Amino acid sequence: MKVNFTRMMRQAVRTYGSKEALVNVERNRRYSFEELHRLSNRIVNMMRERLGLIRETSYLCLLENDNLSLLHAWTLLKGDAAAVLTNLHDSYDDHLWQADWISPKVAFLETGLVDRYYDAFHSRGITMVAMDPLPEPREGVEYFWNLLDGVSDADPDVENDAHNDILIYRFTGGTTGRGKCAQYTTDIWLGTCDALYADEDNLFSETTRSMQLAPLSHGAATGVLPVFFRGGALITQNAPDLVAWCRNVEAERATLATLVPTMLYRLLELEAATDFDLSSLETIFYGAAPISPSKLEQLQARFGNVFVQVYGATECFQPVGMLAKRDHLPDANGSLAHLASAGRIARGIEVRITDDDGKDVPDGSVGEIWVRARTTIPGYYGNPEGTAQEFENGFWKSGDLGYRDERGFLYIVDRKKDMIITGGFNVYAIEVESALNTHPAVLMSAVVGIPHAEWGEAVHAEIMLKEGCEASEGELIDHARQKLGKHKVPKTVKLVAALPLSPAHKVLRRVVRDQYWSSANRHVG
């Protein structure tokens, strides 16, 4: 099936016209629907005419949120070249590895990165496009806004095959190792809209003002088109600064925001947050990592019933599970136990819970979560082995271990690779972390298995305390003992000043674990 995204955007412009569509906070840029449509037309026409970015070519984006927003859904879906949406905060080596994997023709990058990446990109024949003026001209480097001079804003009218033409590449988070390259069609991104619109809470409208602090290159991208097609405005922030975030929420009267759990924990402890009026917030999405139920209760008490949890993955570009606002309230029995879940399985998606042989297990039994939907990617680019290993009959095998209860709530107990086998018992790191995180002095924790001569692995926790709080290692072990079975209680605890985080602010258990296994072999099923 062919699709012309320019026509879809033109229809939105007819409806919303001069209404504000995009705000870039740091660079103080504001575009109406009409202005954004014409600008994205010019960008696509410039890419095709002046950079040769047409079908079977690709371009790499090493950009902050506000610059990436110019090349986002409204631009990349209008053209026929493929966008490689990398995370700006990935390492230099990761960026070069990603570039070598995709072989882009062009790299759009922040001007401050040109010096560092110049030799590597120039030697690879990659044309660089800097988003701000260069101090002096350099061979092979163009200035973005100069490239747009004299370019027509006429509709590009490019047609793509909605189901077969790959227009976006994104690399998985790589919390368990080097990321894989996911590939997306137009229909996958349009399917995300339909999936989010199916939620009965009706979270998007003409009054939505969505504050995006999380990288638009990753999970936050799912909210771009649902906001746009309902006539809302996208507001971008670059720096992961919560004081600035509070200031921007107040100034822009943001109604919707997305924050990962680690940022929410810090928001709870941020005294300066009380200096700002955050009452405009109607919805706060959280996800990307499990949240502590005890911390969630504190957040509810602080901000009200505005939270929506989303469980998903790069490989399935929509919510797999959603804990709606109504689900953040006590159930008919007054219980909040379901706050430990990843929500109810979302509409329009199939979920299987399987054993090691790929057979379905009964509700309440732990197995691997498999998902299949319109938004599930067809596989990994350039990685047939990974595709064969993780995809079967349209299902993606998530590697997450979990179970479904009789009410349809989905519980995640751990990653397969994060399961600890100690003395023949399976211990799920998430469960132990949840228990530790209920201690009033704990900000966050990482639980891993470390070598033990008798048990094979011993449960070990590294814990980051809240600023100004104290707790001894023994006190924390005793706290866990009150909440967990004997074999799940950490044998050792280490207090640390910081925990390793991915660019998406997920705790990197593998980094904690690897320091103990560098000279040992880990045998985990």
Residues 12, 80: Cα–Cα separation, whole Å: 21
Predicted pLDDT at 178: 60
Neighbours of 186 (CB within 10 A): 25
Single-letter amino acid, residue 61: C
Predicted pLDDT at 519: 59
pLDDT at 520 over 60: no
CA distances from 424 to 243, 400, 419 (A): 47, 20, 12
Nearest to 162 by CA among 116, 194, 204: 194
Phi (first) and psi of residue 215, to 5 degrees:
-60, 130
Split at pLDDT 50, 70, 90, the class of 35 is very high
What is the DSSP-derived secondary structure letter of residue 512?
Answer: H
- Name the CA radius of gyration of the chain, rounded: 23
Nearest to 167 by CA among 180, 184, 182, 181: 184
Give pLDDT tens digits for 246-261: 999 999 999 999 987 7
Is the model more confident about 280 or about 417?
Answer: 280
Nearest to 83 by CA among 158, 147, 165: 165
Predicted pLDDT at 454: 65
Quote the strand ranges of 324-481, DSSP E. 344-345, 349-354, 367-373, 391-392, 395-404, 410-415, 419-422, 425-428, 442-452, 456-465
Q: Residue 378, SS3?
A: coil
Give pLDDT tens digits for 313-352: 889 999 999 999 988 888 888 877 888 888 999 988 999 9
Predicted pLDDT at 319: 92
Residues 156, 152: Cα–Cα separation, whole Å: 9
pLDDT at 177 over 60: no
pLDDT at 53 over 90: yes
Residues 470, 463: Cα–Cα separation, whole Å: 11
193 touches 226 (CB < 8 A): yes
Strands 256-259 and 283-287, by their bridges, are parallel
Residues 38, 35: Cα–Cα separation, whole Å: 5
Predicted pLDDT at 504: 65
Give pLDDT tens digits for 464-517: 999 899 999 999 999 999 988 778 899 999 999 999 987 667 788 888 888 887
Q: Residues near 294 by Cβ (< 8 Å), separated by ≥ 6?
A: 434, 437, 438
Predicted pLDDT at 334: 81
pLDDT at 174 over 60: no
34 touches 15 (CB < 8 A): no
493 touches 461 (CB < 8 A): yes
Residues 508, 525: Cα–Cα separation, whole Å: 20
Residues 104, 256: Cα–Cα separation, whole Å: 34
Split at pLDDT 50, 70, 90, the class of 191 is very high
157 touches 10 (CB < 8 A): no
Single-letter amino acid, residue 105: K
The full 3-state SS of 258-296, as one line of letters, equals: EECHHHHHHHHHCHHHHHCCCCCCCEEEEECCCCCHHHH
pLDDT over 70 for what percent of the chain? 94
Element (H, E) at 311: strand 307-313
The full 3-state SS of 194-260, as one line of letters, equals: HHHHCCCCCCCCCCCEEEECCCCCCHHHHHHHHHHHCCCEEEECCCCCHHHHHHHHHHHCCCEEEEC
Give the mean model confidence (pLDDT) for residues 214-231: 92
Most confident of the ranges 90-104, 148-162, 272-286? 148-162
Reading the block at residue 189, the tokens are 């991104």
Split at pLDDT 50, 70, 90, the class of 456 is confident
Predicted pLDDT at 175: 42
Give the mean model confidence (pLDDT) for residues 404-431: 80
Element (H, E) at 12: helix 5-16
Predicted pLDDT at 30: 98
Reading the block at residue 321, the tokens are 């599970």
Predicted pLDDT at 288: 62
Predicted pLDDT at 176: 41
Is domain 418-517 given the CATH code 3.30.300.30 in the classification? yes
Predicted pLDDT at 60: 98
Split at pLDDT 50, 70, 90, the class of 173 is low
The total number of residues shown for the chain amounts to: 525
Give the mean model confidence (pLDDT) for residues 433-459: 87
pLDDT at 523 over 80: no
Neighbours of 284 (CB within 10 A): 22
Q: Residues near 178 by Cβ (< 8 Å), separated by ≥ 6?
A: 97
473-481 and 429-436 are packed helices; what angle lies between their axes, rounded to 10 degrees?
Answer: 110
Predicted pLDDT at 522: 41
Predicted pLDDT at 336: 77
pLDDT over 90 for what percent of the chain? 67
- Mean pLDDT of the chain, nearest integer: 90
Split at pLDDT 50, 70, 90, the class of 413 is confident
pLDDT at 182 over 90: yes
31-34 — which CB contacts under 8 Å span 24+ positions?
33/231
Residues 481, 488: Cα–Cα separation, whole Å: 8
Give the mean model confidence (pLDDT) for residues 76-94: 91
Q: Residue 492, SS3?
A: strand
